[in-house]
Amino acid sequence: IDAFLTPLFKHDAPGATVIVTRDGRPIFRKAYGMADIEAGRAMRPDDVLRLASMTKQFTAVAVMLLAEEGKLRLDEDFTRYLPDYPKPAQTVTIDRLLTHTSGIPSYTGLPGFEGRMTEDVTPAQMIGRFQALPLEFPPGSQVRYNNSAYFLLGAIIERVSGMTYADFVAQRIFVPLGMRDTAYEGHERSGRTRVQGYRPADAGVASAVAVAAPLSMTQPYSAGALVSTVDDLARWDAAIAAGALLSPESWRTLFAPIALPTGHSERIARGWFVGELQGRATAA
């Protein structure tokens, strides 16, 4: 594993943390490259990093927890839970939000999004940026990766549970599973600092990378605002394998690939991409 990974990361460039488990136990754990190029700090295996869209896994599980408690249904119109949202021309269910088949425009693809990334917004303010836009396709007819859908799911979780999204995922998922270093960024309990992110440098700049553009974490919200470590993600993987938190039926629902009206089965499930590798089912 080390021989495969070492050539992928330069010692003086942005790095990564890696863990490999077998039967629920770590068999390889190592960090590569730099955590902070300017300060000369190398990556450590227990460093905290942003999860970005891996946040959607936890949002999907949060929705299923509420569904099991009878507080919402996947086959219901999502506007039942967000009554201030203008009803789309066609019914959009919670399941359409989970499976990226809603047709609602994704706010990260709207003109001007990158120029407003540093603004702190409330969920209602962000939803207000896209709620009046028409559907891009009939719900259920296409798959189109959608951050608006998972943002709306976070707002539904808050409305139905009476808790903030950050508190709900912490109290119902992270604390029960012992994921001490996983949190909504800005709500960390461990006190450890998140690793600095980088991006490719602009043309004409001598260095190959630059510090990533600032982003208010109110904007990715339930679509991408969580941070974690590889150790906590290994705990998460073990919990999924053990069927923790949810019933077997709910886990099957989450990992079931969706089918479009054409009969074509997609790699999209609910919070995960699913597929096959060397004859074994995979989810990421």
User: In the 8-state DSSP scheme, what is residue 120?
Assistant: -
DSSP state of 133: S
Phi/psi at 48 (nearest 5 deg)?
A: -95, 130
Q: Are 24 and 241 in contact (CB under 8 A)?
A: yes
Please classify residue 91 by burial: count the beta carbons closer than 10 Å to its beta carbon, then call 0-12 exposed, 13-18 middle and 19+ buried.
middle
Residue 32 half-sphere exposure toward CB, CA atoms < 13 A: 17
Half-sphere exposure in the Cβ direction for 211 (13 Å, CA)? 8
Count the neighbouring beta carbons within 10 Å of the beta carbon of residue 22.
8
Q: Which residues are catalytic?
A: 53
Handedness of CA 100, 103, 109, 110 (dihedral sign): negative
Dist CA 49 CA 194 (whole Å):
5
3-state secondary structure of 22: strand
Element at 169 (helix H, strand E): helix 165-169
Tell me which amino acid residue 191 is. Answer: G
Q: How far is CA 3 from the centre of its chain?
A: 30
Please give the backbone phi and psi of residue 35, each rounded to the nearest 5 degrees, phi first.
-90, -35
Residues of the chain by 3-state class (helix, strand, coil), percent to 5: 35, 20, 50
